[in-house]
Amino acid sequence: MGCDIHGRVEFYNCHTKTWLSGSRFGDRCYAMFAEMACVRGDGGHIPRGWPKDASQLAQIEKEEWEVDGHTYSWLTHDEMKAIVARIRKKFKADAYTYDREWLVEGQYFDAADRYGEASVLTKCRYVFFFDN
């Protein structure tokens, strides 16, 4: 049985001082899991726990998986981009891999960069947890 990730991109609204939920993200990629939170490998970020101010949708998803969820954490936009760059370099992502969603398409980063340019949405982070 494998380990999966459940995550959301979140954007901070400086007017309401709340985090807003963006798109879901996640695909099984153990190299990414290790880098993001030392899950299924070593050398990554130490899990930070679930943010108390998580967006409403992220919170609902977490509660749905409460019994089976583990290793709750979050990363900034810059941290996530650096991780993906390291993994791309390590695996030379120009070749097809099952990690395609993370390494080739880059859809989450494009959206986050675009939202980050808006005047109201000032920060971006990635909140996530894993299940078995």
- β-strands 69-76, 4-13 pairing: unpaired
Domain ranges of the chain: 4-131
Nearest of 51, 68, 44 to residue 12 by alpha carbon: 51
- Please give the model's pTM, rounded to 2 decimal places: 0.81
For tokens 């409460």, the residue is 66
Question: N- to C-terminal Cα distance for the chain?
Answer: 7
Q: What is the pLDDT of residues 57-86, one digit of tens each?
A: 999 999 999 889 999 999 998 888 888 888
H-helix or E-strand containing 121? strand 121-131
Pairing mode, if any, of strands 121-131 and 69-76? Answer: antiparallel
- Name the β-bridge partners of 13: 18, 121
Q: What is the pLDDT along the chain (132 residues), one digit of tens a residue?
A: 688 888 898 988 888 899 998 888 777 778 888 888 988 877 778 999 999 999 999 999 999 998 899 999 999 988 888 888 887 777 765 444 545 455 444 555 555 555 555 545 668 899 999 998
